[in-house]
Amino acid sequence: MLKFPINFLEGVKFFARALLLLSTPGVFVGNLWAANLQIQVVEEDKKTPLEEAAVCLGTSPNPQQFGAFLTDKKGQVLFHELQPVPLILTVSKSGFRGEQRIVGRQTLNRVMVVSLAPGGSGPTCQVPPQAKGEPPAAVELQVKALAINRGAPLTQRRKVRLSFSVEGKPTQYRASQFPDFRDAPWETFVLTPQFELSPGSGEKTVYLQVRRHREINGSHLQMVSNTIKDSIYFSER
């Protein structure tokens, strides 16, 4: 009979518990699996983009749980940082037959095309009045001219200041040295936030993004800006 050291068995138990946690529906560790979902709405016959189509994303109990938006001029809506739960997508527009689909769990960024046929009836998505006419993409929310330490080429301190200009009224920002912001939670918006560079000498690139986020009638509505970046050389003393 094989005998294993106690520390080996404890390690196996810990690994098994970790696997169980990661495989249990509804249990997530931070934004490990957060994904973006872009919806492209087109007219079925012509395959042309449909502007101001209503798009709802949610669950069976609340079809608008993750947002309800109108498509922009390109017929697009973008949902950010979705957790891998079963999702239901509802798309409708006056003069077209509404569509509803089970999207499933989102673990990767993806684009989904929805074609609406002329006609009527079908499922409908009700966009809150406050959200009408508000583009879901970052058309009205732009960040520009990011500068680390006012454009200094070199720093010997890991903590730096970020300055930039913004168009629109953001409520939150995030900054990261990863272009996908994998380690950066959204924080309350400030004009000149502080950022801590990673250790080790070398050129450091910082990415920054802002968003406007609010909750209306149980729906989470957000507008996310473009991403800007700047670089600085960090030299350890």
Q: What range defines the domain where residue 79 resides?
A: 35-128
5-48 per-position pLDDT tens digit: 544 445 444 444 444 433 333 333 334 446 788 899 999 888 89
Provide the CATH number for the domain around residue 109: 2.60.40.1120
Q: Summarize the confidence of residues 136-153 as an average pLDDT.
A: 80
**Total of domains in the chain:** 2
Could you report the per-residue pLDDT of 179-234, keeping only the tens digit for each? 999 999 999 999 999 999 999 999 999 999 998 887 655 555 677 888 999 999 99
* Residue 56, burial from CB neighbour count under 10 angstroms (0-12, 13-18, 19+): buried
- 105 lies in the same domain as 151: no
Q: Answer yes or no: is pLDDT of 54 > 50.
A: yes
Q: What percentage of the chain has pLDDT greater than the value 70?
A: 78
Helix (H) or strand (E) holding 6: helix 6-23
Q: Please give the distance of CA 200 from its chain centroid, rounded to a whole number.
A: 30
Answer whether residue 208 is part of any domain. yes
Which of 95, 128, 161 terminates a domain? The answer is 128
In 53-171, DSSP assigns E strands to 54-58, 68-70, 76-82, 88-92, 99-102, 110-116, 142-148, 154-155, 159-167
Same domain, 106 and 150: no
According to the model, what pLDDT value does residue 21 have?
37
Contact yes or no for 194/155 (Cβ under 8 A):
no
Distance CA 78, CA 33 (A): 17
- Do 111 and 148 lie in one domain? The reply is no
Q: Which residue has the higher pLDDT, 213 or 138?
A: 213
pLDDT on residue 99: 93
pTM over 0.85: no
Tell me, yes or no, whether 115 and 159 share the same domain: no
pLDDT of 9: 46
Using 50, 70 and 90 to split pLDDT, how confident is the model at 131?
A: low
The answer to whether the beta carbons of residues 98 and 124 sit under 8 Å apart is: yes
